[in-house]
């Protein structure tokens, strides 16, 4: 069972899609902060609307003029961290899930484990890296806020303690009756799903398309992964070597974590990029 989130001591982003104009100032601020460079053109699309190694955040355009910012959710109990056998991903005490390229061995299990399909791979590099939003860990560690939230001209994406963001969501609901989805009882997406996340959303449309459907539930995914996999005999996977591989690496990761906890050591002492 994972620990409950300390909403006063951890940080979060609240994205309010009703205020977003799709201007992409947040995307540009992120690109500039992390030196991500220009997007590679996609022949079949006029606008780039997906995450990539050059986009840690992006704006998804929905019918009816709705704009939805997309990025890593910084799960309280992240499946990507559980899946990484070498501790290249780590959940920090402030909330961000960060990545250490020096440890990454390129297996990409984190990409398969993430329920929101977030991590990307920089295939263009000679030594490819996993690339994703790091919630501007180094900036918030020194008392600042993420580059993207600082840049938004419309308070469509804001930053603060998780408690303050949850309170602000309720304040906006009360101030605008009937505006938010679902109108009978507006929802803060991410408050409880997969054990709670640090990137919360409020919206005037359903955000199920973004991976927020009921399918995932409120249980942290690493626990479910274990419950499911431990009940399935490996031969059931047959020739699905990939699944057997996942079973093995996640098991090893759990063992290493348990050993480290018993030793009182931190198995993932590293630096955050950015």
By the criterion CB under 6 A, which residues form the site for ligand SF4?
A: 20-26, 29-30, 33, 56-57, 59, 67, 69, 71-75, 78-80, 97, 114, 116, 118-119, 132-136, 146-148, 151-152, 154, 156-157
Q: What are the Cα distances from residue 151, in Å, to 29, 154, 155, 159, 248? A: 7, 9, 9, 11, 43
CB of 233 to ligand SF4, least distance (A): 27
Report d(CA 57, CA 163) in Å as an integer. 23
For ligand SF4, give the closer residue by CB, 73 or 187.
73
For ligand SF4, give the closer residue by CB, 228 or 236.
228
CB of 64 to ligand SF4, least distance (A): 16
* Beta-bridge mates of residue 199: 13
User: What end-to-end distance do the CA atoms of the chain give, in Å?
Assistant: 31
For ligand SF4, give the closer residue by CB, 6 or 236.
6
CB of 157 to ligand SF4, least distance (A): 4
For ligand SF4, give the closer residue by CB, 119 or 235.
119
192 CB-near residues (< 8 Å, 6+ apart): 218
CB of 114 to ligand SF4, least distance (A): 3
* β strands within the chain, DSSP E: 11-16, 58-62, 66-70, 89-91, 97-99, 120-121, 130-131, 157-161, 199-202
Cα-trace Rg, the chain? 19
For ligand SF4, give the closer residue by CB, 5 or 156.
156
**CA nearest 196: which of 10, 15, 50?**
10
CB of 85 to ligand SF4, least distance (A): 15
């Amino acid at each position: 069972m994972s620990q409950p989130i300390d909403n006063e001591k951890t940080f979060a982003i609240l994205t309010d899609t009703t205020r977003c104009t799709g201007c992409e100032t947040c995307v540009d601020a992120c690109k500039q902060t992390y030196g991500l460079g220009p997007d590679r053109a996609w022949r079949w699309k006029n606008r780039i609307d997906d995450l990539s190694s050059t986009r840690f955040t992006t704006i998804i355009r929905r019918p009816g003029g709705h704009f939805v910012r997309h990025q890593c959710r910084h799960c309280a109990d992240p499946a990507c961290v559980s899946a990484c056998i070498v501790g290249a991903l780590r959940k920090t005490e402030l909330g961000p899930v960060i990545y250490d390229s020096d440890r990454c061995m390129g297996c990409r299990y984190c990409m398969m484990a993430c329920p929101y399909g977030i991590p990307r791979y920089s295939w263009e590099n000679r030594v490819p890296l996993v690339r994703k939003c790091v919630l501007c860990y180094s900036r918030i560690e020194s008392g600042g806020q993420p580059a993207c939230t600082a840049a938004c001209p419309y308070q469509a994406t804001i930053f603060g303690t998780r408690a303050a963001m949850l309170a602000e969501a309720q304040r906006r609901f009360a101030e605008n009756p009937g505006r938010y989805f679902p109108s009978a009882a507006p929802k803060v997406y991410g408050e409880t799903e997969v054990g709670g996340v640090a990137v919360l959303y409020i919206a005037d449309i359903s955000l199920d398309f973004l991976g927020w459907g009921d399918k995932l539930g409120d249980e942290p995914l690493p626990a479910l992964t274990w419950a499911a996999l431990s009940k399935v005999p490996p031969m059931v996977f047959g020739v699905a070597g990939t699944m057997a591989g996942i079973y093995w690496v996640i098991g090893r990761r759990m063992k290493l974590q348990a050993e480290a906890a018993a030793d009182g050591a931190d198995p993932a002492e590293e630096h955050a990029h950015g």
